[in-house]
């Protein structure tokens, strides 16, 4: 039997437990330290936390929406949605 160590993508803690599956079959995990949930694997490149951080960084450096979508190989709608969510979360 092979054990795979999973760390939290939010706080990097190793205290992670399984928490069922998504509708699409992806495994969900929950961090005991911060209490947040996350997926272990992603089917779409645009939904990963790393891609969302890249979108925000590139937009702050002056890249346009079309440029970001072309470089990261994701749709323009994904870029717009991510930027809108980031803008509304900063205002609250």
Whole-prediction pTM: 0.64
Going along 1-92, which residue ranges are E strands? 16-21, 27-31, 37-39
CA 78 – CA 55 distance, rounded (Å): 9
Q: Look at residue 92 and tell me whether its pLDDT is greater than 50.
A: no
Q: Which of 17, 48, 50, 49 is nearest to 31 (CA)?
A: 17
Predicted pLDDT of residue 88: 73
Of residues 4 and 50, more confidently modeled: 50
Digit-coded pLDDT (tens) for 61-75: 999 999 999 999 999
Q: Look at residue 80 and tell me whether its pLDDT is greater than 90.
A: yes
Q: How confident is the model at residue 49 (pLDDT cuts 50, 70, 90)?
A: confident
């Amino acid at each position: 039997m092979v054990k795979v160590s999973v760390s939290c993508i939010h706080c990097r803690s190793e205290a992670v437990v399984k928490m069922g599956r998504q509708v699409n079959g992806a495994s969900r995990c929950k961090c005991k330290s911060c209490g947040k949930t996350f997926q272990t694997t992603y089917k779409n490149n645009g939904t990963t936390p790393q891609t969302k951080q890249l979108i925000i960084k590139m937009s702050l450096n002056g890249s346009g929406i079309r440029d970001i979508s072309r470089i990261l190989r994701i749709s323009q709608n994904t870029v717009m949605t991510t930027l809108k969510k980031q803008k509304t979360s900063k205002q609250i």
